[in-house]
Chains A and B, each alone.
Chain A
Amino acid sequence: MKNKYSIFSLARNAVTYHENWREAWRSPEPRKGYDVIVIGGGGHGLATAYYLASEHGIRNVAVLEKNWIGGGNTGRNTTIVRSNYLWDESAHLYEKSLRLWEGLSQKLNYNVMFSQRGVMNLGHTLQDMRDIERRSNANYLNGIDSEVLRPEQIRQIVPIMNTSPHARYPVLGASFQRRGGVARHDAVAWGFARAADREGVDILQNCEVTGILRHNGAVTGVETNRGRIQAKKVGVVVAGHSSVIASMAGLRLPIESHPLQALVSEPLKPILHTVVMSNAVHGYISQSDKGELVIGAGVDSYTGYGQRGSFSVVEGNIGAIVELFPVFSRVRMLRQWGGIVDVCPDACPIIGKTPIRGLYFNCGWGTGGFKATPGSGWVFAHTIARGEPHSLNAAFTLERFSTGALIDEHGAAGVAH
């Protein structure tokens, strides 16, 4: 493969002052039409395009991104990857994703820095612990690695955590998925983009969709700020704006869009080696390879599309982190930002067909979409290519909101991702 990344190509290019690296992906002009258009150049959209080409041989594909790829929630999340979900449908989907994560850097020839440093979900009440037991037992029977930790085991893994029995909400235990971890979020978008481009996919940045073209109940293409582009099939993966695109096609989705904030501290020497999440003391935290504490805050309760949130949410969130990690009190918060999450009533995604032939939606991942990136792309590519969902996403239909077959991850798996 030309321009393959490796220590050898780095050394070779060092000799020529790195002037011979090719662009990671081309920036071509839009063609008149494509077999498949994927709207949304985030991780999920790029992964979809990549798997369409690599798994299904559909290479006449364009990814349309209104700004720059990876600029939505892909570049705004706290990068947590895990698969220890409660319900079978979710667990199987996220586990597929986790397995893809495990070989992703090699498959894409792009180091996405997937770091399996373990994800710990803390329990602070007896009911938390019941839920943790229930979820861990379910994970075990679903073939997903999971452990239930006692406070003394937690202390060994994360000695800086406040595990005092006198805390306001003492840590009673935790579930622990060692295969879980974090990844470098931007690299995921770039790696998929480069690999998709290599397969022939056109990645069109600054290409904003303004209309969905339809004829006789079937999609025929899209209208964009760079002109009309025809397509036999259109897949929509535009987290944060799913309802906006849906309304262009005359659809209504059972989705509310909220700001979700995250923040980082200044970089520190390594001090926290696993991902720690807590629902009751609401916050989640990990330390990036650069040394920053990466912290997820809560969802702002109001709806909107502004990628900024309110300070009170940050206050509550940092309070929770300092409560769990008193040694971080003198650490300083560097930067805070917000993304827009599309939340379904059951906190699970919609991945599948719509009433319009050839138009597919992949949305509603709420606060937890990053971890699903490869899996989401994989099943969505299958769904678009075959015109039918894969068994892994068969349950995640739009119809479930009328049939009532919800997959409620609010209940015991917790809403924090």
Chain B
Amino acid sequence: MSRSLRVANGGSIRRTRLLSFSFNGTLYSGFEGDTLASALLANNVRTVHRSFKYHRPRGVVGSGAEEPNSIVQVGSGSKATPNLRATQIELYDGLTARSVSGWPSLRVDLYALNGLLGRLLPAGFYYKTFMRPRFLWSWYEHFIRKAAGLGQAPREADLDHYDKLNIHCDVLIVGGGPTGLMAARAAGRAGARVIMADEQAEMGGSLLSSTASIGGKKPGDWVETVVSELTRMPEVILLPRSTVTGYYDHNFLVINERRTDHLERPDPRLRRERIWRVRASQVVLATGAIERPLVFSNNDKPGVMLASAVSTYLVRYGVLPGRKIVFFTNNDSAYQTVLQLVDAGMEVVAVVDVRSDPQGDLIQQVRSAGVPIFEGHVVVDVRGGTSGLRMVLIARVNKTLDEILSHKGELRCDVLAVSGGWNPVVHLHAQSGGKPVFNEECASFLPGPSVQNERSAGAGNGTFGLADCLREGAEAGRRAAQDAGLTGDGSVDIPKVESHVEGSLHPIWVVPNGLAEGRGGKKFVDLQNDTTVADIRLAAREGYRSVEHLKRYTALGFGTDQGKLGNINGMAILADVLGQAPGKIGTTTFRPNYTPVTFGAIAGREIGSTFFDPTRKTAVHQWHVENGAEFEDVGQWKRPWYYPLPGETMNEAVRRECLATRESLGILDASTLGKIEIRGPDSAEFLNRIYTNSWLTLEIGRCRYGLMLGEDGMVMDDGVTSRIGEDHYLMTTTTGGAAHVLAWMERWLQTEWPHLRVYLTSVTDHWFVTSVAGPNSREILTKLCTDIDFSADAFPFMSVRAGTVAGIPARVYRISFSGELAYEINVSANYGRSLWQAIMTAGQSLNITPYGTEAMHVLRAEKGYIIVGQDTDGSVTPGDLGMDWIVSNGKDCIGKRSLSRQDTRRENRKQLVGLTTVDPTLVLPEGAQLLNEPAKEFPAPMVGHVTSSYFSPSLRHSIALALVKGGRSREGSMVYAQLIDGRVIPATIGQPKFFDPENQRQKV
């Protein structure tokens, strides 16, 4: 086994707690406080991944969210989680992880043959081939798909739960590094309600891998002091392991908090993740910066790492990623890491600096420590394999860094630490609507002018010195609190830190290797997608010159790291190729999420049979369940569909329910119909505008059927509205349309007719409604209710009376959707079950039979009554339904204008008709398309379709409603339903009325 790379002491890991974990089936050990990446490095595991296209071995490059390589699958079964970054996985005992690529193994990957064919696979090669023969594409694609993709989705449902919180705050601080801590301190002292979120397990940011003293304290101790002050502030919330992933309009931000993934055996009551939906008055972006790699031949080999990552692994995790380290830099910051290594007594082979005369305090210190510095040199290539680097090849470079002057041989090493400068994390600023601007000094993009109430500070704002960060953070926090309206004193002392003079950075986007571009080892820009300098040049050559085209053509920045490491280099290289300034090229769009967010967390609790959408049940639901009802989903409601007796089929049950209702007495739970209270002196006028018919003359105690249209003149909803009092109406709507109708009417009231004194309230759930239908309905009502006169004259059809039914205060309507004599009883929902029970008991002798929606549909279809949404589809006018009579000539209403349009006046429109099949036992399928004659060739001209179709138990033959072109004038003619299964069913057109066409029964 390889030797351990753990240094003897140091780091903030807890060495007393040894943890064991497995990677690709091998057991390793690490310490509490390790990440999977640091533990793998400590165990000298160099290759953790195979690259996307060429399957080249890849090792850990970074130490956080920027990591493109170490993508692993963690856990198994219902806990399997794909595509986590080893650099962000906190180690726990028993963790199992495996790499997501490499076949048959990570070490021996046969797909690496792709590497040999690499020249055939430039950017966008797939657009140029796999085209012929055409039928083979699906075969090619099968293999492309198999080769692509990272981890595997779990095969089992997730057992974890996720929560959401909504919160307001004065100041949201993103990032808990030195800048963020100072901002929080200042804002907190000013009295602001502060939330500070940091993606790492603890606050501190860059200080966690720093050795420089701050305010006379060790960095860790200083962080501790600030955190403990913040913890004591009651209005400050500190959120570790929490990434601000999205910045939306109106200072709405989303935080993804991870609560259990780092735990060995999480308390099952703990929710795995939480989404904080934050509305912040002010935002401070203290997001820091990400080090930029350098682009040279074979810069992807395991052992090439960011200098900052080397520093983090050493200082924070006590891991020295190599025994012999070479640095390659174009700026001063890497020298800080060199000094940390020197201080820890480690060997630094050399520093290769592209600058010919680097000046700066740190450089002097490194020089005096005896570390050789190759000035004006570059690393042109590296040698190494799956187990790490063997050497780097260096060369002298000219002043403009684009030409090799002389090759200088090799430096033996096992790690190359690189630094190409720093990219401020401007993602959230950009998401907020800001436009990052290119800054020559740091050769990267800085936040532009703020668009929302946010300010950037610290390294995220291009301020890199620690002293400046602390000052800027304090200032940002103080001013944010002030802008949020806080008047408290937000002043804080700026702790003293050692500062040093830094030399300037010399940008180098591509390191020359003495060969023509594209020759020699590949120079990788985006490690995860295997995008090389040659790919970028090819894209530019082929005309994909917009930075967005570049991204899409070469997949630059398309990976799960979203280009945090490679994008700036890639854009600068494109600019260089095009001879433009990087600032002119611009960036691709920064969009949510900053780092990926678990679907489950975004979905939250609103999934599953209970919470995906509320289930609405009527007051008598339990009775229906107890009596064996089958249910139908209508909108959010569960409606009894039919009530099969033991052994009964659906058809038999529906037949029995229909016949009982027609012959004696049926009872329906009609509670789900939408009910809207309409009150106010202009209610009648309002109804007049909403409905097609006239409402000015409706007397108190009477009801009327109404049809409402969309602006296009098409039927939108229908229902019965009654006048309860002088300025008081109750509208009923379809079950599924209730919410829409209410919103629709509110829209008209609020935006178009604000002067109308009308007030709308949904009362759907307040009432329990049952319809008692059949020739014996009057008899049972008379039995149950003594304070209403049910005689035909005293209580005529289409009227409403108040009274007491079975001792319960009720409104009784005499209306009918079945064509039978029928009453609808409305009582307060709380009394629903008592009323239902009382009716059932009283009706026993009359064979009272509960019927469901299916029987209701049959009964109404026998009468030719439409169901909006089933017999209409948004393209049907009242005239098409044969209901011209309901459109009043004497007034206007919504949609009326549209009815006089040329096409809506057309004779040959699809009209509602009745159909009877030639074979009376055959029931036409609903949705059957109709033809004038069976089709022999396709496309065939269709003349309509079947909207409703049933077997009528009362008539003993099948019936159907259909919309047929010019149907009303075609009575008696034949149409053919030709079905996708090949059947052809002939039918005859008739009136859309099958039963009691004179409507005698409901008026008795």
Contact = CB atoms under 8 A, between A and B. Distances in A.
B125 interface: yes
B112 interface: no
Nearest to B641: A126
Interface in B903-930: 903-904, 925-929
B8 interface: no
Nearest to A65: B546
B596 A334 contact: yes
A195 to B, nearest CB: 12
Given A71-B546, A331-B82, A169 B613 contact: yes
B902 A403 contact: yes
B152 interface: yes
Contact of A266 (B157, B519, B560, B904): B560
Interface in A80-112: 88, 92, 103, 105-106, 109-111
A330 B898 CA distance: 50
Interface string A16-41: 01110111111100000000000000
Interface in A345-398: 345-346
Contacts of A115: 137-138, 141
Contact of B157 (A270, A281, A326): A326
A244 interface: no
A398 B522 CA distance: 55
Given A18-B122, A134-B929, A332-B596, A345 B712 contact: yes
A404 B149 CA distance: 49
Contact of A327 (B129, B151, B157, B249): B157
A84 B538 CA distance: 40
Interface string B505-521: 00000000000101100
Contacts of B599: 265, 318, 321-322, 328-333
B151 A314 contact: no
A318 B518 CA distance: 43
Contacts of B553: 186, 190
A70 B942 CA distance: 38
A106 B131 contact: yes
Nearest to A67: B546
Contacts of A208: none
B138 A290 contact: no
Contacts of A133: 925-928
Contacts of A270: 145-146, 149
B908 to A, nearest CB: 12
A129 B632 CA distance: 13
B128 A6 contact: yes
A130 B870 contact: yes
Given A168-B609, A330-B81, A269 B931 contact: no
Contacts of A17: 119, 516, 518-519, 534
Contact of B939 (A141, A404, A410): A141
Interface string B530-554: 0000100010011111101100110
B3 interface: no
A289 B145 contact: yes
A346 to B, nearest CB: 8
Interface in A132-155: 132-143, 146-148
B817 to A, nearest CB: 18
A21 B713 contact: no
Interface stretch (A7-15, A43-51, A230-238): A7-15
Given A131-B927, A336-B592, A337-B591, A404 B903 contact: yes
A133 B979 CA distance: 9
B600 interface: yes
Contacts of B83: 266-268, 332
A168 B613 contact: yes
A333 B602 contact: yes
A158 interface: no
B874 A410 contact: yes
A412 interface: yes
A238 to B, nearest CB: 18
B27 interface: no
Contacts of A187: 127
B130 A111 contact: yes
A265 to B, nearest CB: 7
A377 to B, nearest CB: 19
Given A267-B149, A336-B592, A403 B901 contact: yes
B632 A126 contact: yes
B530 to A, nearest CB: 12
B603 A268 contact: no
A335 B609 CA distance: 28
Contacts of B940: 141-142
B43 to A, nearest CB: 26
A75 interface: yes
Determine which residue in B149, B608, B714 has the highest number of CB atoms from chain A within 10 A of its CB, and name it: B149
Contacts of B120: 10-11, 14
B232 interface: no
A166 B940 CA distance: 40
Interface string A157-195: 000100000111100000000000000101100110000
A337 B589 contact: yes
Interface string B596-634: 111110111011111011010000000000000000111
Given A105-B134, A291-B145, A322-B603, A21 B150 contact: no
Contact of A141 (B119, B277, B902, B938): B938
A114 B562 CA distance: 26
A71 B904 CA distance: 40
Interface string A276-320: 000001000001011100000000000000101011001100111
A166 B609 contact: yes
A198 interface: no
B156 interface: yes
B927 A271 contact: no
A261 to B, nearest CB: 10
A399 to B, nearest CB: 9
B310 to A, nearest CB: 27
Given A27-B543, A167-B609, A308 B248 contact: yes
A117 B157 CA distance: 25
A145 to B, nearest CB: 10
B132 interface: yes
Contact of A143 (B151, B558, B603, B939): B939
A323 B592 contact: no
B131 A68 contact: no
Contacts of A321: 599, 603
Given A24-B544, A404-B898, A319 B153 contact: no
Contact of B134 (A106, A138, A318): A106
A139 B945 CA distance: 13
Nearest to B980: A140
B978 A141 contact: yes
The 10 closest A-B pairs by CB, nearest first: A291-B149, A133-B927, A404-B901, A411-B873, A134-B927, A329-B158, A68-B546, A143-B938, A332-B596, A23-B543
19 contacts: A5-B129, A10-B128, A17-B518, A18-B122, A137-B978, A141-B942, A146-B980, A168-B608, A269-B149, A290-B555, A315-B602, A318-B599, A321-B603, A326-B158, A327-B154, A329-B158, A330-B154, A330-B598, A406-B903
Interface of A: 5-7, 9-11, 14, 17-19, 21-27, 67-71, 75, 88, 92, 103, 105-106, 109-111, 113-117, 124-127, 129-143, 146-148, 160, 166-169, 184, 186-187, 190-191, 205, 265-271, 281, 287, 289-291, 306, 308, 310-311, 314-315, 318-323, 326-337, 345-346, 400, 402-406, 408, 410-412
Interface of B: 79-83, 119-120, 122, 125-132, 134, 137-138, 141, 144-146, 148-158, 160, 246, 248-249, 252, 254, 277, 516, 518-519, 534, 538, 541-546, 548-549, 552-553, 555, 558, 560, 562, 589, 591-593, 596-600, 602-604, 606-610, 612-613, 615, 632-634, 711-714, 869-870, 873-875, 898, 901-904, 925-929, 931, 935, 938-940, 942, 945, 947, 978-980
Given A134-B927, A267-B83, A330-B160, 18 more contacts: A10-B128, A24-B542, A126-B633, A129-B927, A130-B870, A130-B947, A136-B980, A137-B945, A140-B938, A142-B940, A269-B151, A321-B599, A327-B154, A330-B599, A331-B598, A332-B599, A402-B901, A404-B712
